[in-house]
Amino acid sequence: MFTQAIAVGLGLALAGCATVGTGEGVLQPGYPETRRIDHVDQYFGEDVADPYRWMENLGTAELDAWIDAQNEFSAGFVQQLPDYDRIRARLDALWRTERLTTPLVHGGRFFFEYNDGTATLSRLMMTDGLAGEWRVLLDPATLSEDGTTMLARWNVSRDARHIAWAATVGGSDWTSWRVRNVESGEDLPEVLEGTKSTSAAWRRDNTGFYYARYPQNAAGEWDDRQQAEVWFHALGTPQAEDVHVFSVTDHPTRTPFPQMSSDGRHLVLSVYENNRSNGIYLLPLDVPGAGVIRLVDSWDGVSSYLGTVGGTVYVHTNIGAPKGRVVAIDIADPEPADWRDVVPESELPIEDASVVGETIVVHYLEDAKSRVDLFALDGGSRETLALPGIGKVSGFTGSPASSETFFAFESFSNPGTVFHFRPDTGAVTSFHQKSTALDTDTLATKQVFFAGKDGTRVPMFIVHRKGIELDGANPTMLYGYGGFGVSMLPGWDLRLLGWLDLGGVLAIANLRGGGEYGADWHVAGTRERKQNVFDDFIAAAEWLIAEGWTAPEKLAIYGRSNGGLLVGAVELQRPELFAAAGPAVGVLDMLRYHTPSANARAWLGDYGLAEIESDYRAQRAYSPVHNVQPGTCYPATIIHTGKFDDRVVPWHSYKFAAAMQAAQGCDKPVLLRTETRAGHAAGGAKPRHMLIDEFAELYAFFAWALDM
C-alpha cells in the first residue's frame, strides 16, 4: 500500500559545485543554486526521498527564476561552442525541405498540410484535383507573432463546406476548436474549449460534429484528471448549448473519443483504458434514446474501426492475434466467438489497415520495413502493392464509400513521394515529390541484427555517408524509443538525418516495447519487463563498438519522450559506454509520472503504477530520477524540455537535471534547456526557428563532446 510522509525542514543546497569545461580549457562557474527539501514518500515499507518535489508546483516565482538561471547557464555554454553558429546556419539551410501530409479526400476535394521548407509553420491547403491549383485555407503563422499558436488537428465536413480546426498555444496539448467556411475562409463565431486529443466527428447531414471534452472542476477550470465526455456541437451555436451524448459510467478511468461510422448511421466510440486495451462501442444515431452497442468489449487487446458495410463492421484488432488480424463483426451479434477472420493473423505483423471502397489495405512490417497487401472485402484476391523501394508507407485513409485515396512513401534518402491510388483499377499516380536540401545521393543505409542481453534478435538501421571506414572512430548518434507499440521504420526525419550532414553516423535500434513484431514484441518491453528495452539499447551500443563503427568516446545517445526515459535510464546504468546523452522531454520520475493527468495515468500499460508493488519494484530499479549515484562520472548530458509541456510535464526534466548536476563526479557538463514557449511535441508541432535552435544546440553539444 502507498503512503506518504513529509518531513519538515527546507534546507538549501548547491546542485553541484563542480566546474564545467568548454572544450578549450576555460572553466565556467558552478551550476545555478538549487534548493533541496526533506521530503520522503513511503512505498511498501521503503522510504524514497524526493528533494525536488517543490518543482512539481509549476509557475511559481522561485521555479521560474531557477529555469531562467539554468537557461542562462546552459545557453552560455552551448551557444559559445566553436561550431554552434556554423551548425545552426547549416540546419537552417537543411530545413528548406518540403513537408506535405498525405491528402485526405472530401467531397471530391483534397485537403493537406504543406510547408515549402521556409515557412514558420505548415499551412492547411486544398485543391480540387490532382493537377489543380493549391489554395491556402489556413496559415497558422497568422495566429500569433512568434508562431507558437499552432494547428493541432482538423476535420472536414462530408460536403467539404466546413472545416473544424483546433489550435494549441505554446506547445500545450489543450486545444480550442473553431469552424471555418471553406469557400469564404471566414470562421464561424463559436469557440470550443476543454479539449485534448479529440477529433471532430461530423454528422452525415453536416449540421455539426461530435467531440470529446473534459469536465470542469469546482473552480470552473477544465480538468483533465477526470474522464472526458462526448458532446455534440451544432454549427453556429455557442458551446454552452452543446448537447451531452455519452460518458463512461461503469469504469473510473476509461475515456471515450468519437468517430463517425462510414455510413453515418452510428457514432463510433473508441473507449481507451490504456495503450494496451480499448473498446469500440456504436451509438445508433437514427434511433432516439438508443443505447450503445458494445461491439468490442473484452479489454484484452487494441482494436480500431475500419468501416461499415450494411450490417457488418470491419475492425483491425490484436485480440487473439498478437500480430494482428482484420475481422468482420455482425452488428446484431457482436460476440467475439462469432467474429469472422477476413485477413487472418500471419507471420508478418500488421502495422495498420484501412478499407477503401471494396478493398482492404493492409500495411505489414517485414523486419521493420513496410509492405502493403490488398484484399477483397471477403479476404480473397490478395496482391502486393509495388513500392518504390525499402522504406516506410503511410496514408491509405478511406472508407467503403471511397473510390480513391493517397499514400506516401519515404526512406532515409527520400523525404517522401506522395501517390494517388485507386484500388478499383490499381492505378497509382505520383501527386508530389518532396524536395530536400540534404545531399541524399551520398547516403547509404544498412540493416543489421544484433543479440540482446537475453539472446533476442533485434534489428537496427545504420545510415551513413558512403565510403565510411570501420575504424572505431566514427562519431555516432544512437537513437531509440522502445515503447507504446510504436515502430521505428526507415522513414524520413530531418531532426535525425541532419546529424549525417555533420559527418556523423546515425543508428536507429528497433527495441522491444515497439510494434515492429506485433503485440508480443511490445509487451516484452513493458512494466516488469521494461528493463529489456534498456538492455536492447545497451546491446546495440556494444555491437556498434565491437563491429568497429564507433567507440565509447565517439558515441552519443538521443531519444524523446519515452525515448527520453530510455536515454536517461541507460546513461545511468552504463555511463562508461557513452560520451554524450540527450534525453528530451523525457518521462524521468517513474514513481509519479501518473499524477498530473488522466492521460498520463493511461500510460500504465507500459509503465505500471507505483501503487502496485510489483510495478513499484520494477520502476524503482530504473527510474532515472531515483537512480542517480553521487560521485559517478556521467556522460556529458543536455536535457531539453518545454515549459508548457502538459503531456510529459517538465518537472520530470527539472528533477533529473538537478539530481544529475548535484551528483556529477567529473567535469562533463549536465545542461538543462527549457524552451519557454513550447510544449512536448517536435516535428511540425513547433515553429521552424525553435526546431532549428533545439537541434543546433543538440548537435553542437554532441560534436563538442565527441570531439568531432
Which residues are identified as catalytic? Answer: 561, 680
Q: Which three cell numbers stand for residue 635?
A: 556522460
Q: Residue 654: is it exposed, middle or buried by C-beta count within 10 angstroms (0-12/13-18/19+)? A: buried
CA distances to 149, 518, 649 from 273, in Å: 30, 20, 21
CB-neighbour burial class of residue 11 (10 A; exposed 0-12, middle 13-18, buried 19+): exposed
DSSP per position, 565-584: HHHHHHHHH-GGG-SEEEEE
Query: Do residues 210 and 682 lie in contact, with contact meaning Cβ atoms separated by under 8 Å?
Result: no
* Of 465, 519, 463, 515, nearest in space to 491 by CA: 463
DSSP for 137-149 reads EE-GGGG-SSS-E
Asked if residue 438 lies in contact with residue 497, where contact means CB atoms within 8 angstroms, the answer is yes
Q: Angle at which helices 651-663 and 61-78 pack, to 10 degrees? A: 60
Residue 704: helix, strand or coil by DSSP? Answer: helix
Q: How many CB atoms lie within 10 A of CB 680?
A: 22
237 grid coordinates: 451555436
> In one letter, which amino acid is 565?
L
Contacts of residue 230, Cβ cutoff 8 Å, sequence gap at least 6: 210, 211, 212, 244, 245, 246, 247, 256, 257, 258, 267, 269
Handedness of CA 147, 149, 150, 155 (dihedral sign): negative
Q: DSSP states of 317-383 as a string?
A: E-TT-TT-EEEEEETTB--GGG-EEEE---SSPEEEEEEETTEEEEEEEETTEEEEEEEETTS-S-E
Nearest to 268 by CA among 296, 310, 298: 296
Q: Which residues of 535-556 are buried (b: 16+ CB within 10 A; e: fewer)?
A: bbbbbbbbbbbeeebbbbebbb
Residue in 163, 245, 179, 183 with CA at minimum distance from that of residue 211: 245
Q: Which of 345, 373, 340 is nearest to 359 (CA)?
A: 373
Report d(CA 407, CA 104) in Å as an integer: 10
Amino acid making up residue 227? Q
d(CA 571, CA 20): 19
User: Could you tell me what percentage of the chain is helix, strand and coil, using 3-state DSSP and rounding each to the nearest 5?
Assistant: 20, 35, 45
Under 8 Å between Cβ of 670 and 197:
no
Contacts 24+ apart (CB under 8 A), 420-427: 420/130, 421/356, 421/396, 423/356, 423/357, 423/358, 423/359, 423/361, 423/374, 424/357, 424/358, 424/359
Would strands 109-115 and 325-330 be described as parallel, antiparallel, or unpaired? unpaired
| Residue 418: exposure state from Cβ atoms within 10 A (0-12, 13-18, ≥19) | buried
Helix, coil or strand: residue 113: strand
> What are the grid coordinates assigned to 398, written together?
478511406
Strand-pair partners of 296: 280
Question: How far from chain centre, in Å, is Cα 23?
Answer: 34
SS3 of residue 218 by DSSP:
coil
